[in-house]
Chain A
């Protein structure tokens, strides 16, 4: 169990003065992930909100070595960095024990970046890939991604007169990655900071590739007041929309079990991106979203029982 006072004693690895929106979930994730690492780290970041607002020349919010290459290739780029590290370690030219973390949004991970991520894990590079999932291509102005939930309004799946938001359910990337049998995989969110910190440490200790999918509420894209960011993050878990679980050595484990499973409407009503669903001619989108959430949650409960 990580202690806040211990974490607070460290130097800030992700500084203030970055240009993320007020109340940005992704910046909370960057801070918490970086402070969780107990070893020296090298970070890579895919093009996206986090990359753009944290490195506008000549300002950088990163107090650790950092590289940005392109949008879809942070996993491949960090695979190269890790290979260079292995090469130098073999020759005895580097003695320090380093860890590598790649950050990508759901855009750069679920969609355009899935190939590079799959390859990186398949080749067993010891890199932790952190997806900060804000459920849309936020940096280009809130376009739908395969992570966008059923019914959500985005600019390319707008809440229209004929079609009410996104018609498809979410891609379950965490399960896709688990099928690769990484050394560690998990879902978490920053509202449960201890869950997040514990998982980052577990991932960095695991001897092999790891993946953590972190829910990142976005006040702008999801349309809610900035001070609610942490509450939205917690509600995603309380409604089981974003289960906090982990997978290691073939075993599933739910790490945050809500006391009572709330209906997804408790989550939907907090955000403007779903408001049209409450005025729609039927409740089909909400029902389909609820059914998806229930199916995934039931499956998870079953899988984590057979421990």
Chain B
């Protein structure tokens, strides 16, 4: 069925079709709508979900942990400060291997307080051991919400599917919805090896490790993350085979013969694709690499996309505040260090706090990348793009 939906509406719709057993959630702009819409589904009897309107996001994630440990399918939704408030529990959920799925809207972290888009919220939690998938448009947000539940339950790791604040969350786009019956069929039942509710086989979850066991448990969790990419690729392929829309961990756009390229995440990927088209119309060979799966980091797929490109402009909608620039920039530098591909790279910090990025602005970035290709030099490694006073 083809409909017009905003990102929030589409994710809520996906949640309705997934029909999780428990949703424990708290409102926060701009993800509030997801929770509101889902509450309406609950109160109208359209889902069987036990909805727990908790008193804070910390309790939301905690209740999700309890429910997931009890063997049921669990989801929630949040953004920015909400995710930050969950921070402590995120690490616990991953350590306890609980496949919770969060539909998240990327909003900047205070301070300053701001309700608009950047990627600082999810990136601040990138080391928590959660899967992270950043979506470009409403269709992808919808599709990935469904995929994530399956991936998380197979990997036994919690995951976040995110979409940009207001740009996608409140932007209305054309979406193809799956049939209600198709979603539960695609996901199947959650398979559990143990449950807190199995009183005949009692287990203890979340014990204390002294120095003699912690590392072994952590090593096991690290190993789990090492095995996730094949699971993601398999589920992406299954989804494509069944429903005709294929996704990949790294979204390559016109990279085959690109001389210069941009790397980006989220909705900027979509904006950049239009810029690519316009540049190509002018005869310029440019491309785009959109990082869709961020955790685990798809090193192999990323390097494969970058084998031929000569100059790479890495656009970060966040800063690591380490003096080393943005997150993607640091990840790209890291994977390129030992690779044969040696593109010149430059970091563009942009769009913080919802500062808009236009097609024309991205075109100027491409022009600058060509200048770098000509001169063979990068004058400034990190630039703050679009901020007044630079």
Task: Show the binding face of A for B, using Cβ within 8 Å.
Answer: 40-42, 44, 51-52, 55-58, 60, 62-70, 72-73, 75-88, 90-91, 94, 96, 98, 115-116, 118-119, 122-123
Verify if B344 is at the interface (C-beta below 8 Å from A). no
Complex partner residue of A76 from B49, B50, B62, CB under 8 angstroms: B62
Contact B202 A66 (CB under 8 A): yes
User: Counting chain B CB atoms within 10 Å of each CB, which of A58, A84, A87, A116 scores highest?
Assistant: A84
Residue of chain B at shortest CB distance from A67:
B205
Given contacts A80-B52, A81-B196, list 7 more A-B pairs with CB under 8 A: A81-B197, A83-B52, A84-B50, A84-B70, A84-B71, A84-B72, A84-B74
Within 8 A of A (CB), among B62-85: 62-72, 74
A72 and B49 within 8 A (CB)? no
A80 touches B207 (CB 8 A): no
Interface residues of B in 21-69 (CB under 8 A from A): 21-22, 24, 48-50, 52-56, 58-60, 62-69
The reply to whether B70 and A62 form a contact with Cβ atoms under 8 Å apart is no
Q: Is the CB of B124 closer than 8 A to any CB of chain A? A: no
A57-B210 contact, Cβ under 8 Å, with A73-B58, A80-B64 = yes
Give the interface centre of A41, A63, A69, A90 by most chain B CB atoms within 10 Å. A69
A55 to B60, CA, bound (A): 25
The 8 A CB mask of B201-228 against A (1 = contact, 0 = none) is 0111111111001000100000000000
A60 and B59 within 8 A (CB) = no
Evaluate contact between B65 and A77: CB separation under 8 angstroms. yes
Q: Are B210 and A88 in contact (CB under 8 A)?
A: no
Task: Say which residue of B50, B55, B202 sits within 8 Å of A63 (CB atoms).
Answer: B202
Given the contacts A56-B208, A58-B213, A68-B207, A86 and B66 also touching, CB distance less than 8 Å: no
| Contacting pair A65 B58 (CB below 8 A) | no
Beta-carbon contact of A42 and B207 below 8 Å = no
Separation of A67 and B207 alpha carbons in the complex (Å): 8
B15 interface residue per 8 A CB criterion: no
User: Do A83 and B88 touch across chains, with their CB atoms under 8 A apart?
Assistant: no
A53 to chain B, nearest CB (A): 9
Let me know if B66 and A84 touch, CB within 8 A.
yes
Give the residue of A41, A67, A84 whose beta carbon is less than 8 angstroms from that of B206: A67
Cβ contacts under 8 Å, B22 to chain A: 80, 83-84, 87
CB pair A123 B52 closer than 8 Å: yes
Q: Is B92 an interface residue (CB 8 A)?
A: yes
Q: How many Å from the CB of A204 to the closest CB on chain B? A: 14
Q: Find out whether the CB atom of B196 lies under 8 angstroms from the CB atom of A42.
A: yes
Given contacts A62-B202, A76-B63, A123-B52, contact A88 B72 (CB under 8 A): yes
- Name the residue among A65, A85, A98, A122 with the largest chain B CB count within 10 angstroms: A65
Min Cβ gap A126→B in Å is: 12
CB distance A115 to B59 under 8 Å?
A: yes
Contact-size category for B:
35 or more
Tell me if B89 counts as interface (CB < 8 A to partner A): yes
Asked if A69 meets B92 with Cβ closer than 8 Å, knowing A78-B66, A84-B21, the reply is yes
Interface residues of B (CB under 8 A from A): 21-22, 24, 48-50, 52-56, 58-60, 62-72, 74, 88-89, 92, 195-199, 202-210, 213, 217
Q: 8 closest pairs, A vs B, by CB?
A: A80-B66, A80-B63, A119-B55, A84-B70, A68-B206, A76-B59, A55-B207, A73-B62
Asked if A65 and B203 make an inter-chain contact with CB atoms under 8 angstroms apart, the answer reads yes
Q: Is B63 within 8 A of A77, CB to CB?
A: yes
Contact (Cβ within 8 A) B199 A42: yes
> Distance in Å from the Cβ of B114 to the closest Cβ of chain A?
26
Residues of A within 8 A of B195 (CB): 65
Q: Which residue of chain B has the shortest Cβ distance to A56 in the bound complex?
A: B208
Residues of B within 8 A of A118 (CB): 55
Report B-chain residues with C-beta under 8 Å of the C-beta of A83. Answer: 22, 24, 50, 52, 63, 66-67
- Alpha-carbon gap, A107 to B213, bound state (A): 27
CA distance A63 to B199 in the complex (A): 9
A66 touches B66 (CB 8 A): no
Contact between A81 and B209 (Cβ–Cβ < 8 Å)? no
**Given A90-B48, A94-B197; A81-B69 close (CB under 8 Å):** yes
B197 touching A98, Cβ below 8 Å:
yes
Question: Known: A42-B197, A67-B196, A85-B70. Contact between A122 and B24, CB under 8 A?
Answer: no
Within the complex, what minimum Cβ distance (angstroms) separates A231 from chain B?
A: 31
Chain B residue numbers with a CB within 8 Å of A123 are: 52-54
Task: Report chain A residues within 8 Å CB of B196.
Answer: 42, 65-67, 81
Report which residue of B24, B58, B204, B208 has the largest number of chain A beta carbons within 10 angstroms of its beta carbon: B204
Quick check: B66 and A65 within 8 Å, CB to CB? no
Complex contacts, B209 vs chain A, CB 8 Å: 57
Q: Which residue of B lies closest to A40 (CB)?
A: B199
**Chain A proximity of B36: nearest CB distance (Å):** 18
Closest beta carbon of chain B to A48's beta carbon, Å? 11
Distance in angstroms from B337 CB to nearest chain A CB is 37
List, sorted by A's number, 8 A–B pairs whose CB atoms are closer than 8 Å.
Answer: A40-B199, A57-B210, A57-B217, A58-B207, A65-B199, A80-B66, A87-B67, A119-B54
A83 to B209, CA, bound (A): 29
When chains A and B are docked, how far (Å) is the Cα of A307 from the Cα of B218? 57
Best-buried of B21, B56, B64, B92 by chain A (most CB within 10 Å) = B21
A57-B210, A63-B202, A81-B196 are known contacts. Are A76 and B66 too (CB-CB below 8 A)?
Answer: yes
Cα(A63)–Cα(B64), bound, Å: 24
- Is the pair A60, B207 in contact by a Cβ cutoff of 8 Å? yes
Residue of A nearest to B217 (CB): A57
Contact yes or no, A65 B48, CB < 8 A: no
In the complex, which residues of chain A have a beta carbon less than 8 angstroms from the beta carbon of B48?
A: 87, 90-91
CA distance A67 to B93 in the complex (A): 12
Question: What's the minimum C-beta distance from A105 to chain B, rounded to whole angstroms?
Answer: 15
Are the CB atoms of A52 and B208 closer together than 8 Å? yes
Q: Name the one of A41, A60, A85, A88 contacting B204, with C-beta atoms under 8 angstroms.
A: A60
A101 to chain B, nearest CB (A): 12
Given A60-B204, A80-B70, A83-B50: A69 and B197 within 8 A (CB)? no
| Residues on the B chain within 8 Å of A58, using CB | 207, 213
Once bound together, how far apart are the Cα atoms of A25 and B125, in whole Å?
A: 39
For residue B66, which residues in chain A have a CB less than 8 angstroms away from its CB? 44, 67, 69, 76-84
